[in-house]
Structure 1
Amino acid sequence: MTKLSVNVNKIATLRNARGGNMPNLLQVSSDIERFGAQGITIHPRPDERHIKYNDARALKSIVTTEFNIEGNPNQKFIDLVLDINPTQVTLVPDAEDAITSSAGWDTIKHHDFLKDVIATFKAKGIRTSIFVAPKVAIIKNAAKIGADRIELYTESYAENFSKATNETEKHNAVSAFITAAKMATTVGLGINAGHDLSLDNIQYFKKNIPNLLEVSIGHALICESLYFGLENVVNMYLNKLK
């Protein structure tokens, strides 16, 4: 079964809108685990507009499943991850003012930088994943720089799948990701995926991607929970990922 890691950034965004502690990020995260999710993901940004650095430290003490911290590895982020020592760190090349992640790493161009950062995390026993587009050369080099996993950046899949009107178009939406996943397996990388995955498109993606270990889902899951309830939605994802 592919593991579901729930990104709780949007819970923090809602809390921060009123400046108090409602909803309680720690309680919601614990509940998400209790509902069956196998991981909690956060993506702290330098401006702390949703997840705050103190949230990351507080979550470490209550998360009992896998704890995944995403972000651009500037020195402040590196220090945070080394201090918390989560299960996994996912390196994402987002600009400081980015609304959301919009690109994967060029693991060839940034080979030396990423190799050094990964070595730093792996020295503390932290599993390291690299956020990448489904490009064979990029994935081959992710293995060369020492990554344990890749996280496939699935925005293009989600966009094209939403427009598909027949099986051929659905397959075209996922075909590059199938090729990428096969290459990742060949070079010994674990496979995660995330970005714009939803109840509408997750099952088809899971069915077609070999050796998919984990998906990280936040925005869509929280939006869907407004209609169906958080516990129901977590279990709806788990059923589609079996």
Structure 2
Amino acid sequence: MAGHNKWSKVKHIKARVDVIKGRVFSKCAHEIALAARGGGGDIATNARLRVAVDNAKAVSMPKDNIDRAIKKGLGELGGEAIQEVSYEGYGPAGIAFLIEAATDNLNRTAADIREIFSKNHGSVATPGSVSYQFDRKGEIRIAADGVADDVMMDAAILAGADDVQREEQEHVVLTSPTELAAVAGELRAAGFAIASEKLVSIPQNPSVVDDPEIARQAMKLYDLLDGYDDTLNVFTNLEVADEVFAVLDA
């Protein structure tokens, strides 16, 4: 059972703070709308929608918001349809970024993403020039409270997972992209409460930053991309060296 790097931990601490800010509701709504648009509004027959709704419920998103997002995806509320799009770019010191977004205005979102990069020591890259540096995986998060590491590992491998990592107060179960739903279903059947279930992009070779100023710039760029209204997910190969974290925390 391996541990994630410290930047990974920071990202997920930040994600929990975003719940309080309410920004996570917007991301959940976009994902629900995309799922409904692609596979219909019935969670019994639309696996992606079921996952999106489960994730929304896990962060206490109100039922009215969930229902409205489904209707948006089905086109029942009017307006432009939500589309899924991804962007690739480089930040300071060549740090790689992948951005998954959902938008009803492709031109606006592309311009906004380009501006965020250009104003923060980065640039948008051509499609495929960054994504090859990442592996696509299924990720399942389960609270570690009351679940021993060896118990989680045994259950996850039995369910068909590839690996289990420990991250602060969560177990992170990794699967192949095609096995995510099946492994999550096995773990639910075994009695585990799943906090989130989604596809992620994991860097093959983390870019370790040992310069505090570069770390600040890269983390600011991440925050701006992640905080953008149309963003669903941001993945990066940024890894901040321990001694730099000590400086940043001082």
TM-score, normalised with respect to structure 1: 0.25
Structure with higher strand content: 2
